[in-house]
């Protein structure tokens, strides 16, 4: 009797063991390649967290795009002021308005780049008004190129330095005698 029980128990265990791998193969075949239960890679969190993160990335990309547009506008204004100054050897009322706009853009770029408003602007500017206005256009163009090269994920010391220099030049040009 003991032999019969042992034989039944052993055959049952063998049958169960033989059936178990077949079930895991069947389970693996039931899963589809895009099935969520087969996630590979880092856990992205809940769908709400993922949506918030995507919205944050979109906002950062839009902010960077706006920053690049500001830098382009600022470079254009710098060239317009230089052309106007070369023609009349003085700044018109429109040029002063453009300088105000340029200063506002430079401050926004500087703050977007991670600098604070209380940072000191460079005081080393050319002596002659012609050289100062020319340097203003050059620095605005350099700043535009630096902003375009910089990723939204980077804080650029060059952008901050150029912004500070540009703000100092704007202040210097504003102090020039006007007709």
Distances in Å between the alpha carbon of 153 and those of 127, 140, 150, 156? Answer: 37, 22, 8, 10
CA neighbours closer than 13 Å in the CB half-sphere of residue 136 = 31
Does this model's pTM top 0.75?
no
On whether the CB atoms of residues 37 and 31 are closer than 8 A, the answer is yes
Residue 121, C-beta contacts closer than 8 angstroms, at least 6 positions apart: 164, 165, 167, 168, 171
> Which H or E run includes 75?
helix 47-88
Q: What pLDDT tens digit does each residue of the chain (179 aa) get? A: 656 555 566 666 556 655 555 455 445 555 555 555 555 556 668 889 999 999 999 998 998 899 899 999 999 999 999 999 999 888 889 999 999 999 999 998 888 877 776 555 555 656 788 898 999 999 999 999 988 888 877 777 888 898 999 999 999 888 877 66
Distance CA 126, CA 134 (A): 9
């Amino acid at each position: 009797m003991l032999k019969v029980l042992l034989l039944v128990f052993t055959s049952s265990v063998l049958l169960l063991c033989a059936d178990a791998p077949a079930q895991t193969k069947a389970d693996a075949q039931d899963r589809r390649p895009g099935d969520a239960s087969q996630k590979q890679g880092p856990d992205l969190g809940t769908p709400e967290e993922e949506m918030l993160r995507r919205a944050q990335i979109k906002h950062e990309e839009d902010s960077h795009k706006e920053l690049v547009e500001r830098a382009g506008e600022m470079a254009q204004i710098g060239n317009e002021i230089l052309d106007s100054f070369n023609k009349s050897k003085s700044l018109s009322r429109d040029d002063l308005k453009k300088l105000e706009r340029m200063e506002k853009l430079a401050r926004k770029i500087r703050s977007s780049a991670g600098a604070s408003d209380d940072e000191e602007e460079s005081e080393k500017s050319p002596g002659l008004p012609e050289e100062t206005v020319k340097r203003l256009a050059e620095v605005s163009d350099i700043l535009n190129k630096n902003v375009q090269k910089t990723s939204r994920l980077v804080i650029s010391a060059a952008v901050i330095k150029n912004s500070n220099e540009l703000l100092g030049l704007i202040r210097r040009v504003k102090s020039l005698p006007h007709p």
